[in-house]
Amino acid sequence: MSENSLTSSSLPPPRKPVLPDFQQRYELLVASISDYAIYMLDTEGYVSSWNAGAERFKGYKAHEIMGHHFSRFYTEEDRAAGLPARALAAARDEGRFEGEGWRVRNDGTRFWASVVIDPIRNGAGELLGFAKITRDITDRRAAQEALRQSEQHFRLLVQGVTDYAIYMLSPQGEITNWNVGAQRIKGYSQEEVLGSHFRRFFTDEDRAAGTPERALETAAREGRYESEGWRMRRDGTRFFAHAVIDAIHDEQRTLIGFAKITRDVTEQRATAASLEQTRNALFQAQKMEAIGQLTGGVAHDFNNLLAVLSSGVDIMHAQQPGPTTLRVLDSMRRAIDRGALLTQQLLSFARQQPLSAALHQANALIGSFEQVLRRASGPQVSFIFDLAPRLASIVVDEARFEATLLNLVVNARDAMPAGGTLTLETRNVRLAENEVGTLPVGEYVRVTVRDTGTGMTPEVLMRAFEPFFTTKPVGKGTGLGLSQVYGFITQSGGDVQIRTELDKGTAISVFLPAQQGGIEEAPEAKPHAERVLVVEDDQLVMAVACDLFETMGYDVLSAPDGVAALRLLEQHGTIDTGVDVLFTDLMMPNGLTGLELARIVRERWPGIKIIIASGYPQQALQGEPADLRDFDFVGKPYRLADLARHLRAAG
């Protein structure tokens, strides 16, 4: 037996249905429906049938409503507006009317209804009436309204936030909405960013590194991505941002986008950095104070021991010993003297050396010590003096200040074993609170020694001022140079700052309090220049030239070659360099002659008077490709009268 025959035999046998006619069946169907109000209207809108659902929704029995106009279900406002008539007209003319609105029950209460009205026509197309279906959707509308209000409140909340940029991204990273905070922080209006990729807010470096894409991948994989970094505003400026990206999924866990929240934390970061800097400065000051106290105590005790040894050597000398003993005593005396010098250095670091402080002009001290500093810098170093013309006075011990400069210059020279440029600069500065160490707000004189040498690592920088710490080979340094600088400057009421970058050089600046009323006034106006730049590669010749110009009352800048001279002029400004006279040797190293330097200066700074000097007579130089007659020329050796005459001619 087949499967079909088995299945068929298990079914009840068919029989002829016994049902009412079509009209009866329709009436029974409509009458049994209770979830919808289904009733008929005649062509004028009067109720001609009524089902159980209509009675349940509207509260009317059939005998109470039959023959009444359906407009009684509308609110007074809708009846006054003619809505019932328009609904019938729309159904008649357009074949259907559909809408939602408030309707009124028999007891006067209202419910929100979904209404459909269809016209009923006979075979000839003649209108017989209308079929009206109404459903009570008050609960659904209430839920929708609650959802709408919730969404509106959320939008208002998001749009009201101005301290955070809150916006949505598509799964691909395109911006789909934008709040007021985003516009305030990033500078873009909503119209400018919608549809664009959020990578536009990242820096060029981050975009090249794929940071935006990696952020979305992480958020999609892990549900969240959090980071901090530099972001770009519309005007091209940067701000430091804290950003969070959250993945958004639908009910089927399909990724539909990302929520992104960004906050500008630039000020907080700067405040935290300032606080950390202050803490580090305080820690460094406390550490150096502790080391100083320990060092001072050790040096004091060591001095006592040296005094005993020194007295013993003197006593033994007085006993007229033999030649061998004398040689031993001489060696001991030299050792004692070296020990005494060492203890003086230690006491200087510990700020326990008495100072002979007096009011001085830093430029004057540097000028009188310039030749020593130049000799200490060595022949391979290009030494530039960049001294501010109106420098405040300072209270310092002259000898210790010179020792400080010498220590800094020697350190800078040693950091440039293959040669380089060393600059000694003076400036008037105003410091904010804790801008340098723990110095209070006020006016200071800053003296900076800057080199183009090897620089320091962060580890070396942290220990640079510690006594006996040195990176030099054994026998090349005691490690007391910078410690002496630190001790003397802090004992004088100032502080020391080091700025360094590995393989790019170091700048060590000492800050000393400026003295009120101690400003060095600029010289009175002269018929000639106020400042001269002397360019000469021979140190002795340069010294003589500088002395001659200073004798005539000029402020003097100096450079060892043409390249250094141009660098110095550029540092003073692109239009007004503050230099009135260029006095340059003709033959110089580094590939730039005095004549070439003069031409560049005349083209870029036409207001500078130029004098060229040479050991050759001018007549012997006429064969040069360039004609020296364009510039004033002085032959070597020159005297004060010669310079004065040529300065008048150049003017």
Domain boundaries, the chain: 22-137, 161-264, 277-345, 357-513, 531-650
Q: Which of 106, 110, 86 is nearest to 98 (CA)?
A: 86
Please name every residue paired with 383 in a beta bridge, in sequence order, or none if there are none: 422
CATH code, residues 22-137: 3.30.450.20
Separation CA 254–CA 101 (nearest Å)? 36
pLDDT (average), residues 492-501? 88
Of residues 479 and 62, the one with the higher pLDDT is 62
CA-based R_g, the chain, Å:
48
Report residue 548's pLDDT band, with 50, 70 and 90 as the boundaries.
Answer: confident
Q: Which of 69, 136, 130 is nearest to 101 (CA)?
A: 136
Q: How far does Cα 348 stand from its chain's mean position?
A: 40
Separation CA 245–CA 212 (nearest Å)? 11
Q: Which of 332-341, 395-404, 524-533 is predicted with the least confidence, judged by mean pLDDT? A: 524-533
CA distances from 623 to 110, 118, 589, 597 (A): 114, 114, 21, 19
Residue 640 structure tokens: 């004060």
Mode of pairing for the β-strands spanning 97-104 and 37-41: unpaired
Peptide bond into 84 cis (omega under 30): no
The HSE-up count of residue 192 (CA atoms within 13 Å, CB side) is: 11
Whether the per-residue pLDDT at 465 is higher than 50: the answer is yes
Q: Which of 366, 388, 369 is nearest to 531 (CA)?
A: 388
Most confident of 36-50, 319-333, 357-371: 36-50
Burial class (CB in 10 A: 0-12, 13-18, 19+), 43: middle
SS3 readout for 420-438: EEEEEEEEEEEECCCCCCC
Separation CA 613–CA 587 (nearest Å)? 9
What confidence score (pLDDT) does residue 156 get?
57
Report residue 556's pLDDT band, with 50, 70 and 90 as the boundaries.
Answer: confident
What confidence score (pLDDT) does residue 625 get?
42
Containing 158, the helix (H) or strand (E) segment is helix 138-160
Q: What is the pLDDT of residues 411-448, one digit of tens each?
A: 888 889 888 999 999 999 999 877 887 788 899 999 99
What confidence score (pLDDT) does residue 3 get?
47
Of residues 638 and 22, the one with the higher pLDDT is 638
Backbone angles phi, psi at 349, to 5 degrees: -65, -40
Domain 357-513 maps to which CATH number in 3.40.50.300, 3.90.1170.50, 3.30.565.10, 3.30.420.130? Answer: 3.30.565.10
Longest dimension (CA), the chain: 158
State the architecture of 531-650 in CATH terms: 3-Layer(aba) Sandwich (3.40)
Peptide bond into 637 cis (omega under 30): yes
Separation CA 248–CA 258 (nearest Å)? 5
DSSP-based three-state secondary structure for 210: coil
Whether the per-residue pLDDT at 527 is higher than 50: the answer is no
What confidence score (pLDDT) does residue 166 get?
83
Whether the per-residue pLDDT at 284 is higher than 80: the answer is no
Q: Could you tell me the sign of the dihedral formed by the alpha carbons of 390, 393, 399, 401, in that order?
A: negative
Residue 286 structure tokens: 């406390």
The dihedral over CA atoms of 77, 83, 85, 89, expressed in degrees to the nearest 10, equals 180
What confidence score (pLDDT) does residue 483 get?
72
What confidence score (pLDDT) does residue 32 get?
58
- Give the number of other CB atoms < 10 A from CB of residue 210: 12
Q: Whole-angstrom distance between the N-terminal and C-terminal Cα of the chain? A: 133
Length of the chain measured in residues? 651
Percentage, residues of the chain above pLDDT 70: 73
Whether the per-residue pLDDT at 457 is higher than 90: the answer is no
8 Å CB contact between 479 and 346: no
Residue 171 structure tokens: 């799964």
Q: What is the pLDDT of residues 117-139, one digit of tens each?
A: 999 998 888 999 999 999 888 88
**461: amino acid identity, one letter:** L
What confidence score (pLDDT) does residue 158 get?
54
Report residue 615's pLDDT band, with 50, 70 and 90 as the boundaries.
Answer: low
- Per the prediction, the chain carries an average pLDDT of 78
The answer for residues whose C-beta is within 8 angstroms of residue 502's C-beta and 6 or more apart is 454, 455, 456, 457
8 Å CB contact between 385 and 424: yes
Q: What is the pLDDT of residues 499-520, one digit of tens each?
A: 998 888 999 999 999 987 554 4
Whether the per-residue pLDDT at 492 is higher than 70: the answer is yes
What confidence score (pLDDT) does residue 467 get?
59
8 Å CB contact between 449 and 507: yes
Backbone angles phi, psi at 385, to 5 degrees: -105, 115
Q: What angle do CA 545, 546, 548 make, to 5 degrees?
A: 65
Whether the per-residue pLDDT at 154 is higher than 60: the answer is no
8 Å CB contact between 178 and 169: no
What confidence score (pLDDT) does residue 417 get?
86
Separation CA 344–CA 338 (nearest Å)? 10
What's the CATH class of domain 161-264? alpha beta
pLDDT (average), residues 260-287? 71
The pTM of the full predicted model, rounded to 2 decimals, is: 0.38
Domain 22-137 shares a fold with domain 161-264: yes
95-131 burial, b at 16+ Cβ within 10 Å, e below that, comes to: eebeeeeebbeeeeeebbbbbebebeeeeeeeeebbb
Report residue 275's pLDDT band, with 50, 70 and 90 as the boundaries.
Answer: low
What confidence score (pLDDT) does residue 96 get?
92
Backbone angles phi, psi at 331, to 5 degrees: -65, -40
Whether the per-residue pLDDT at 524 is higher than 60: the answer is no
- Give the number of other CB atoms < 10 A from CB of residue 384: 20
What confidence score (pLDDT) does residue 118 get?
92
Q: Could you tell me the sign of the dihedral formed by the alpha carbons of 631, 637, 642, 643, in that order?
A: positive
What confidence score (pLDDT) does residue 137 get?
87
Report residue 590's pLDDT band, with 50, 70 and 90 as the boundaries.
Answer: confident
